[in-house]
Structure 1
Amino acid sequence: MTREMVYTIDFLDSGDVYEWSITPTGAEYERVTDYTPTIYVTYDGRAEDGLSDLQERLASSPTVASMAIEQWRQGFRHEHESILRIDVRELAAVRPLASQIRKLGWPGEYKLYNVDFSREFRYCLERGRDPTPTRVPSVLAIDAEPPALSNPPLTELQINEETVTGSPEAILYAIQRRLRQVDPDVLVLSSGELIPTLSEMADQHDVDLQLGRRPGWERLAGRSTYESYGSVGHSPARYNVPGRVIIDRSNTFFHSQSGLDGCLDMVRRSGKPLQELGWASIGNVLTAMQIREARDREVLVPWNSWRHEFFKPLSTLHDADRGGYTFSPEAGFHENVHELDFSSLYPNIICQFNVSPETIRCDCHADRADVPGLEYSICDERGYLPDVLQPLIDARDTMKREIREIDDEERVAVLKSRADAIKWILVSCFGYQGFSNAKFGRIECHEAINAYAREILLDTKETFEANGWHLLHGIVDSLWVTAIEGQKQTPLTELATVISDRVGIRLEYESAFEWLALVPLRDRDEGALTKYFGKVASATGDEPEYKYRGIECRQRSTPDWITNAQQELIVTLDQSRSPEVVCARLQRQLAELHAGRVDPEVLTIDNRPSKHVEEYTRTTRTVAALQRAQDEGLDPQPGQDVSYVVVDDSKRSRDRVQLTHELSQQYDAEFYADLLLRAAESVCSPLGWQRSDIEAYLSDHQDSSLAAFQN
């Protein structure tokens, strides 16, 4: 058999492996019977021959298949040395064996490497397999509503675009028929729980349903709750069926952000098979890229990061812990504004200045002060991190250039998906350096990148001002400028080229705004750092384009109706430049709301609870929604979204809200009116009107409110 690719791998209870390869007409597999995962051990104790002693102690272990001394490097700045390779009989024994070895010596005596890889990625890495498909995989999507999944059997679901209803047998036969017709390489599911649910239904109704290309299914991991950067998230259970990739839409970042094309491009760049990439985090995929680079350099991957923070004086700690630079925005309504952005600023800083965990504060250049303000040295020897990121930067730049130059809509869509996937890796690479569990991170890299960024932004501000441009706002890598009256302006495209050449990082002219509104903080005159909206200038007279950042219509918990209403108010502001006219439009919206003319479905609020319902001490709206969800048998978990409409906010019981699947025509108009007033304040406040001014206008014109709506 000629194997064109290995796009998914199944691990059998016997220890054997099925390597699945896509063919022009479907898929085929090869059974592998000799796979043994590998870990590595170094010894830092006092005994003369600690590794030989460890070999003797493990010789009789039933989980060890074989051992050998090999030459590897412990880190990117280390020389090759003798390291013990241990081949483990089965994947399930890798972590228990590693834990056992760690306990054999004093703390830190035995260091372990290549322990905690995901299983398909490990297999491809160790066996030299490329998981990139040689053709676009065929896809079948199956969707079911959460309440139905919680109360099987299913009597309605969607298969691709088709809604299927009927008895459980009819549902199962419809899926079976579509599986035969499509023979999908990828199953995109609304929830992985469809796999056990459909399998149990098939058993109960004696239907021969086979979701995989071979019989059976397995649960790879149970559901869990985690905390990341102060936010609670939920990871649902993960499932596998033989010969097909499962993408769970309730548990996928890359597929939701960049589609299948973006995922496939990331598979090629990371070496992470499609199913694992589907559930992987950005940091997980970035780590896979780093691990492949380490493998190419014969560097092992530590089980736990043990990169200590370098000693530094208190003054340096103060200077280092400042983050990116942000200029205080000038709140207000500004006309003829221009936006310029540094292209992938942080990744380009890493590559331009060779910032990498093994180059920062190197011993060979300890007398140098390369990093501005921090006096850290950076080695001249090329770091591994720039080698990981530079191909991504170059690829994304090439994609963006091709998107601008071609008219093929299908090709543009593919390129945008791929560019979006790369963007998320580039966005996260900086923050990941400061992540305590990063395999190859170092906090000094994080600090150095910020220091370079601050210096670049301050120098750029001075250059703009010296050439006739006033800086209205600047945040990390973006700047907004307007012409200084009475001064001659250097053209911005020319100025961007000058700055790009001097800095070594491209400053791009992003867009011109007819006007830009920088929103002030509530009840204060200072500008909010990340809240603005504006109208993009158009030379062709096309449909107006508006940008929104940070305001209510960009917040995930904002109901659709409030989002649309706020955008209508912004259009009104554009047409009138008058807070009174905006408030007149607001008055009509409030009248519509109070008259009961709004569909409750567009008033849905999505919130993500951080605790189980019994752990809350106050009866909030979210708690009320969780209580109702429990009544429905939904068992909501911390980190999972809960969606509801507020129907009577005066109550403090579960009757305060209704879940989306139980909606009536009822909603609490006063509650949603308050949300709308907050959204209106964001629109009017750049013109100097706060909420009190808006309420005064509405009070003065209250009698004409309903009449205005009826007209």
Structure 2
Amino acid sequence: MRLLVMKMMLFDVSVEPGENRVELWFKSGDRVFRETERFKPKLYIKTSGGGVPRVLERYDVDSCFVMKKRWPGRDEERFLEVTVYNPGRLNQVAEDVYREGGFRENRVYNADLSLPFRYLLRNGLYPTIDIESDEGQYDLDYEVEDLKTIEIDLDLDESHLNSSVPIEKIYVGENEVTGGEKEVLEGLKREVSRVDPDIIYTRPGVMEHIVGMADGTLDLGRLPGSREITSKTHNSYGRTIHKPGSLVMRGRIHINKNSFIYSESGLDGVLELSRLSSRPIHEVARTSPGTVISSMQMALAQKEGILIPWKKTVPEDFKTAGELIKADRGGLTLQPRVGFHQNVTEVDYSSLFPNIISRKNISPETINCSCCNSQRVPQLGYSVCNEKGFLPRVVEPLIRRREKLKKRIKNEGDIRDRRRVVALKWVLVTCFGYTGYKNAKYGKIECHESICAYGRDIMAKTIQIAEESGYKVIHGVVDSLWLAGDGDLIGFKEKVEKRVDIPLDIEASYRWMVFLPRRRSRTGALNRYYGVKENGELKVRGIELRRRDTPKIIKEFQKEALNALKDAENKSEFIEKQSEVTRILKRYKKQIKNGEVAREKLAYETKPSKKPCDYKTMNRNKAALIKHREHGYSKKPGQKIKYVIRNSNSKTRDKVGLVDQETPIDKTHYIDMLDRAYKSLQFQKGCRPSKQKEIQVA
């Protein structure tokens, strides 16, 4: 590859039309440079039968035998290395080889990586690298060239995107492009070309809507050949998630501002994870933290000569029924002590599960290894190898990096460092879940079980030390504890860290906290509480104020009510202030009764999990989807919809109305919701919500 001799930062990797050449885009000051290279990807085959030569004869490939590691901790074995001259046929080659072996005899590796990601791994490159410097990938103080950004938007609410509503105006940065559909699209292209941005931001669904307007012909890249990624809907842990469409451009990057990594950590976080994972910026901006940690594992595997499994077939170790019950227990959770508590301290472990992976050497090849027997997982008895594992080698640099940045933030408070810390936090959070995820490249359920077992053991020791230090433990969830009392906090922290060898953070000190009961019982809810920190800041979890599907008017009531309560210094004052909360409730009810609340504040925002025809009953989601369709708004499962309640008792689609349609609202329903939100703030002792009368509006 020919590289220009000047200071340049690699910021994008794309594929030429036809997928035969890789394009590298560099930024140097205000100038952008492009280099291209013919790239021939490789995949690897392990076969116990025949038929592979017959498959390869049908394609333009070369093959030879090489020595590679099948799995971390394994010795090198003999694999058939296949070089594919037409990258666009690589997936088909892999599928045909796999099928030829009856889906059992032929195992294929390094098959499902995107071409840009594959190229970066092969060549030891990564986004934001300065190709003329000797900086390392994990250098903490790398410099980033200024990337020119612009935002494209439409004058439409998110719930109205992808509809048949004609578009007559597009916002491009601070400018407006108006006219008929054809004129608007041509004006958009001209404006993007004039500004010449490196990154284009949009809200969810905006780019998909514009591409739809252009019948798939929209091209906003520095060179022709943009490629649309269509939207997808999938289920994850019981939730239906819709991933909006995107546009992969040559020499420009599209970022959906609502994508998880960007919304949590901004562009600085996206660049940090792209650099550390060797994954292109446009891919990181669109993916999840779990995919990023998986990419980091693949990057290390590439460096160490370990192959990347395609259709992984690592079975779970055999267990008896008793062993399964013992192993499948998750993290330690305590039932909170319901009620009002003063002088509360919240402590949690800094990256507990990643630290367990690192310090206890948890990895798929280290658990139940055949060579060591000195270390045992508590409660489970699994043996742990003494030789440093693959997963610890992935997470240790991330843990150290995050701790260094956190220390620097305390002294300097740099916003870029804060965003990088947040990005690293989410990657470290997901590294635990991926050890037990069935599709994880280097996952194994015994790793997941071992991490949980160590976590339970550590929390049990922490609780014991807390009680010995004069505290009362009032709640605990996996890696966090809430302690009441006036114990020796510094001495407690030192004892814990000495015994468990993992840093313990003093998360916050609270003037008081309220732990709430479950809605249908008096037992404590794991994640429903609110409290006031010593600095007066509120912390709220699990009530309507924190729920995405709660109308704004209900959230505003709870926020005002909590602000009225937060000045209480003790339980007596807290109970006295209930009368003020009651007055606030009456005022909000009166506003609804008198029709003084804007429809936007009454709107529910939900993401239906099904199509209208898949719902068996006429619930709100089905009714709202039908209403949207009647007004020309096409919605897919997982996409956001908005509606107001017209008649909560109706069994037809008229139980809801669209926000922008002037239809009556069900005032009784919203008043009932205010009552529910009021009761959510109450607890048995001192307030007794079950005995309170409904507050009526005169």
Q: Same fold (TM over 0.5)?
A: yes
Q: Does 2:458 match 1:460?
A: no
- For residue 103 of structure 1, what is the aligned residue in structure 2? 99
Specify the SS of the correspondent of 1:634: coil
- Separation (CA, whole Å) in 2 of partners of 1:631 and 1:310: 54
Identity %: 34
- Separation (CA, whole Å) in 1 of partners of 2:307 and 2:227: 31
- For residue 370 of structure 1, what is the aligned residue in structure 2? 376
- Code of the residue aligned with 1:158 in structure 2: it is Y
Q: Does 2:150 match 1:140?
A: yes
- Code of the residue aligned with 1:43 in structure 2: it is T
- Separation (CA, whole Å) in 1 of partners of 2:489 and 2:654: 58
- For residue 675 of structure 1, what is the aligned residue in structure 2? 673
- After superposition, the Cα gap between the structure-2 partners of 1:306 and 1:169, relative to the gap in structure 1 and judged at 3 Å, is closer
> More helix by proportion, 1 or 2?
1
- After superposition, the Cα gap between the structure-2 partners of 1:58 and 1:649, relative to the gap in structure 1 and judged at 3 Å, is closer
- Separation (CA, whole Å) in 1 of partners of 2:666 and 2:408: 50
Q: Does 2:404 match 1:416?
A: no
- For residue 367 of structure 2, what is the aligned residue in structure 1? 360
- Code of the residue aligned with 1:364 in structure 2: it is C
- Separation (CA, whole Å) in 1 of partners of 2:429 and 2:171: 35
- After superposition, the Cα gap between the structure-2 partners of 1:663 and 1:685, relative to the gap in structure 1 and judged at 3 Å, is farther
The Cα shift of 1:85 comes to 0.8
- Code of the residue aligned with 1:136 in structure 2: it is D
- Code of the residue aligned with 2:46 in structure 1: it is T
The Cα shift of 1:177 comes to 5.0
Alignment map for 1:573-584 (pairs within 5 Å): 573-575=565-567, 576-578=573-575, 579-584=578-583
- For residue 384 of structure 1, what is the aligned residue in structure 2? 390
- Separation (CA, whole Å) in 2 of partners of 1:120 and 1:230: 32
- For residue 36 of structure 2, what is the aligned residue in structure 1? 31
- Separation (CA, whole Å) in 2 of partners of 1:161 and 1:393: 41
- Separation (CA, whole Å) in 2 of partners of 1:616 and 1:665: 24
Quick check: 2:608–2:621 contact (8 Å CA) kept in 1? yes
- Separation (CA, whole Å) in 2 of partners of 1:479 and 1:319: 24
The Cα shift of 1:368 comes to 4.6
- For residue 265 of structure 2, what is the aligned residue in structure 1? 258
- After superposition, the Cα gap between the structure-2 partners of 1:79 and 1:435, relative to the gap in structure 1 and judged at 3 Å, is same
- After superposition, the Cα gap between the structure-2 partners of 1:505 and 1:443, relative to the gap in structure 1 and judged at 3 Å, is same
The Cα shift of 1:210 comes to 5.3
Structure 1 gaps, min length 5? 204-208, 484-488, 539-543, 707-711
- For residue 691 of structure 2, what is the aligned residue in structure 1? 693
The Cα shift of 1:223 comes to 2.9
Q: Does 2:484 match 1:505?
A: no
Quick check: 2:235–2:241 contact (8 Å CA) kept in 1? yes
- After superposition, the Cα gap between the structure-2 partners of 1:678 and 1:152, relative to the gap in structure 1 and judged at 3 Å, is closer
- For residue 709 of structure 1, what is the aligned residue in structure 2? none
Q: Does 2:83 match 1:70?
A: no
- For residue 5 of structure 1, what is the aligned residue in structure 2? 10
- Separation (CA, whole Å) in 2 of partners of 1:14 and 1:581: 67
Deviates more, 1:106-115 or 1:356-365: 106-115
- For residue 256 of structure 2, what is the aligned residue in structure 1? 248
- Separation (CA, whole Å) in 1 of partners of 2:161 and 2:210: 14
Deviation digits for residues 392-433 of structure 1 (CA, Å, limit 9, x no counterpart): 1112222222222125xxxx2212211111111111111111
- For residue 629 of structure 2, what is the aligned residue in structure 1? 630
Deviation digits for residues 251-276 of structure 1 (CA, Å, limit 9, x no counterpart): x2211221111000001111110111
Deviation digits for residues 74-121 of structure 1 (CA, Å, limit 9, x no counterpart): 011111122111111323312221121123335532211001112321
- Separation (CA, whole Å) in 1 of partners of 2:176 and 2:646: 30
Alignment map for 1:14-25 (pairs within 5 Å): 15-25=20-30
Q: Does 2:195 match 1:193?
A: no
- Separation (CA, whole Å) in 2 of partners of 1:333 and 1:500: 30
- For residue 538 of structure 2, what is the aligned residue in structure 1? 546
- Code of the residue aligned with 2:590 in structure 1: it is A
The Cα shift of 1:457 comes to 0.8
The Cα shift of 1:216 comes to 4.0
Q: Does 2:231 match 1:223?
A: yes
Quick check: 1:64–1:86 contact (8 Å CA) kept in 2? no
- For residue 439 of structure 1, what is the aligned residue in structure 2? 441
Quick check: 2:380–2:453 contact (8 Å CA) kept in 1? yes
Deviation digits for residues 252-306 of structure 1 (CA, Å, limit 9, x no counterpart): 2211221111000001111110111111122211110000011111000111121
Quick check: 1:368–1:375 contact (8 Å CA) kept in 2? no
Structure 2 counterpart of 1:126, from 116, 119, 122: 122
- Code of the residue aligned with 1:472 in structure 2: it is I
Aligned residues: 667
RMSD across aligned positions (CA): 2.3
Alignment map for 1:304-703 (pairs within 5 Å): 304-365=311-372, 367-368=373-374, 370-406=376-412, 412-483=414-485, 490-538=487-535, 544-575=536-567, 576-578=573-575, 579-660=578-659, 662-664=660-662, 666-685=664-683, 687-689=685-687, 691-694=689-692, 696=693, 698=695, 702=696
- For residue 541 of structure 1, what is the aligned residue in structure 2? none
Deviation digits for residues 211-237 of structure 1 (CA, Å, limit 9, x no counterpart): 211234222x43332111121212333
Specify the SS of the correspondent of 2:436: coil
Specify the SS of the correspondent of 2:167: coil
Q: Does 2:294 match 1:287?
A: yes
- Separation (CA, whole Å) in 2 of partners of 1:59 and 1:457: 55
- Code of the residue aligned with 2:490 in structure 1: it is T
Specify the SS of the correspondent of 1:85: strand
- Code of the residue aligned with 2:552 in structure 1: it is D
- Separation (CA, whole Å) in 1 of partners of 2:635 and 2:688: 39
Deviates more, 1:427-436 or 1:663-672: 663-672
Specify the SS of the correspondent of 1:123: helix
Q: Does 2:274 match 1:267?
A: yes
- After superposition, the Cα gap between the structure-2 partners of 1:465 and 1:148, relative to the gap in structure 1 and judged at 3 Å, is closer
Quick check: 2:56–2:93 contact (8 Å CA) kept in 1? no
Specify the SS of the correspondent of 2:398: helix
The Cα shift of 1:679 comes to 1.5
- After superposition, the Cα gap between the structure-2 partners of 1:119 and 1:152, relative to the gap in structure 1 and judged at 3 Å, is farther
Deviation digits for residues 125-148 of structure 1 (CA, Å, limit 9, x no counterpart): 234332226413211111122536
The Cα shift of 1:569 comes to 1.4
Deviation digits for residues 488-544 of structure 1 (CA, Å, limit 9, x no counterpart): x54202211221121111111111111100001124221101111000012xxxxx3
- Separation (CA, whole Å) in 1 of partners of 2:168 and 2:102: 59
- After superposition, the Cα gap between the structure-2 partners of 1:180 and 1:83, relative to the gap in structure 1 and judged at 3 Å, is same
Quick check: 1:213–1:244 contact (8 Å CA) kept in 2? yes
Quick check: 1:282–1:424 contact (8 Å CA) kept in 2? yes
Which stretches of structure 1, 4 residues or more, deviate above 6 A after TM superposition?
none
- Separation (CA, whole Å) in 1 of partners of 2:19 and 2:483: 65
The Cα shift of 1:194 comes to 4.3
- Separation (CA, whole Å) in 2 of partners of 1:504 and 1:363: 27
- Separation (CA, whole Å) in 2 of partners of 1:322 and 1:546: 33
- Code of the residue aligned with 1:132 in structure 2: it is T
Quick check: 2:645–2:655 contact (8 Å CA) kept in 1? yes
- Code of the residue aligned with 2:267 in structure 1: it is L
Alignment map for 1:37-52 (pairs within 5 Å): 37-45=41-49
Deviates more, 1:239-248 or 1:268-277: 239-248
The Cα shift of 1:638 comes to 1.1
- After superposition, the Cα gap between the structure-2 partners of 1:139 and 1:608, relative to the gap in structure 1 and judged at 3 Å, is same
The Cα shift of 1:19 comes to 2.5
Deviation digits for residues 301-329 of structure 1 (CA, Å, limit 9, x no counterpart): 11112111111232221111111001111
- Separation (CA, whole Å) in 1 of partners of 2:301 and 2:641: 42
- Separation (CA, whole Å) in 1 of partners of 2:108 and 2:247: 29
